[in-house]
Amino acid sequence: MPSAEIITIGTEILLGEIVDTNTRHIARTLRGMGVDLFRTITIGDNTARIAEAIHNSMNRAEIVITTGGLGPTVDDPTREAVARAAGVELEFREDLWEEVVAIISRYGRKPSENQKRQAYIPKGAIGISNPVGTAPCFILESPLLPVGEGPGARESVVISLPGVPNEMEYILHESIVPYLQKRFNLDQVIKIRVLHCAGLGEGLIDEKIADLETLSNPTVGLAAHTGVVDIRIAAKAKNETEADEMIASIESEIRERLGDVVFGADEDRLEAITLNEIAKRGWTLTALESGLDGLLARKIPHAVAITDLSPISLMDSLRAARADTNADVALGVVLIPDERAAEIALITPKGEKSHHITYGGPPRSLPRWSVNLALDWLRRRAMETD
């Protein structure tokens, strides 16, 4: 199967002025086609650096996709950079210019002279219409830089798309996906399943499933978040049914090893799973928080934020709140920023417990970490057998 690299172009991305959403969308699209994505890069609006990045990507991958830098201004250098990377000149394409003129005329305007830049593409490139914007795209099938050596070498293709997300997405699916399927005879899919874990750190989870992380297909990888660890299972197969079967086998093994550490998958969220466990018990719930800026209240209905609640008085306050609301369960979290710590208290029909927890990560992550630990504790208490 072919490999791919994505190059996003724009100084505004490097400056943090905008968030690059194009890479994620393209990556997911390639994944669904069975294309291996090995590298993504962001380059500012500098022709020489973009050309170097494209040249290097062409030597490594069969598919190179760029986004951005196709506008009409002097700081839109992608066309020139691709031409330089492939060792060809730019050429004016009358058919693309006519498309630009037609698009602009829809707005009752005439194109300015600088917009002619958008009708220049690398010599020999395939022009791609952009019916939802003024920047035509192109595909350059380069015979100059074959990937690999010997009789099995394959030429690289450079696909340049607009940076505007809705334009990029439209052209990607309408024009580029069919092109790639035909050019590379794509007949595989890559499917992903993400398992969400809580109550065990990344290192300990790694110890329990380390052998699975060495598999080549499906692959298994870990990603730590704040109080939650994700396990990603990725399978490549000829169809979705086969991929699903491969994933199911590994998922079953992981769940057997980790037990209730795995609380959900894919779009599942810890707060929803926890509330569902409470509902299964037929319990009602109230909650108190202090120092969390409403974070717990946004996850648990009817939770109350109290600005002056102290760790020492937390349990007494929970008892009062439980009595006032006639709730079966009361959960409380008080942040202690100076200590990078939190006090968590829980009252259920099974009794009362409290934990003092300390955190070694970034201070700004302390609230989310504390809430996730509290939710997981509540989840586990609700799952316990009587």
Q: Three-class SS string for 118-158?
A: HHEEECCCEEECCCCCCCCEEEEEEEEEEECCCCCCEEEEE
Q: What tokens appear for 221 in the block?
A: 């990888």
- Looking at the structure, tell me whether residues 35 and 89 fall in a common domain: yes
Rounded to a whole number of angstroms, the CA Rg of the chain reads: 27
27: containing domain: 3-183
Asked whether 259 and 365 are in contact (CB, 8 A), the reply is no
Beta strand extents in the chain (DSSP E only): 3-9, 36-43, 63-67, 90-92, 120-122, 126-128, 137-147, 154-161, 189-197, 219-224, 229-237, 262-265, 285-290, 304-305, 329-336, 341-348, 351-358
pTM, entire model: 0.77
Dihedral pair phi/psi, residue 288, rounded to 5°: -125, 145
Closest CA to 164 of 152, 172, 155: 172
- Looking at the structure, tell me whether residues 20 and 152 fall in a common domain: yes
Asked whether 42 and 18 are in contact (CB, 8 A), the reply is no
* Total structural domains within the chain: 3
Low-confidence ranges of the chain (pLDDT < 70): 143-154, 386
- Looking at the structure, tell me whether residues 25 and 142 fall in a common domain: yes
DSSP 305: E
Q: What tokens appear for 160 in the block?
A: 């340049």
Of the CA atoms within 13 Å of residue 50, those in its CB half-sphere come to 28
Round to whole Å and give the CA distance between 26 and 297.
36
- Looking at the structure, tell me whether residues 141 and 247 fall in a common domain: no
- Looking at the structure, tell me whether residues 105 and 212 fall in a common domain: no
- The CATH number for 208's domain is 3.30.70.2860
Identify the pLDDT of residue 114.
79
Identify the pLDDT of residue 151.
46
Round to whole Å and give the CA distance between 225 and 45.
33
Round to whole Å and give the CA distance between 96 and 221.
45
Domain boundary among 183, 215, 232: 183
Identify the pLDDT of residue 172.
95
Residue 304 burial (CB < 10 Å; 0-12/13-18/19+)? middle
- The CATH number for 300's domain is 3.90.950.20
Percentage of residues of the chain with pLDDT beyond 70: 97
Domain boundary among 165, 183, 201: 183
Asked whether 247 and 191 are in contact (CB, 8 A), the reply is yes
- Looking at the structure, tell me whether residues 364 and 246 fall in a common domain: no
The Cβ of residue 140 has, within 10 Å, a number of other Cβ atoms equal to: 24
Domain boundary among 183, 200, 230: 183
Sole residue written with tokens 């250098």 = 77
Closest CA to 195 of 113, 274, 281, 263: 263
Starting at the edge strand found earlier in the chain, the sheet holding 229-237 runs 219-224, 229-237, 189-197, 262-265
Q: What tokens appear for 223 in the block?
A: 């990603």
Q: What tokens appear for 170 in the block?
A: 């439209």
DSSP three-state, residue 171: helix
The Cβ of residue 360 has, within 10 Å, a number of other Cβ atoms equal to: 6
The sign of the torsion formed by the CA atoms of 50, 51, 54, 59 equals negative
- Looking at the structure, tell me whether residues 241 and 131 fall in a common domain: no
- Looking at the structure, tell me whether residues 29 and 118 fall in a common domain: yes
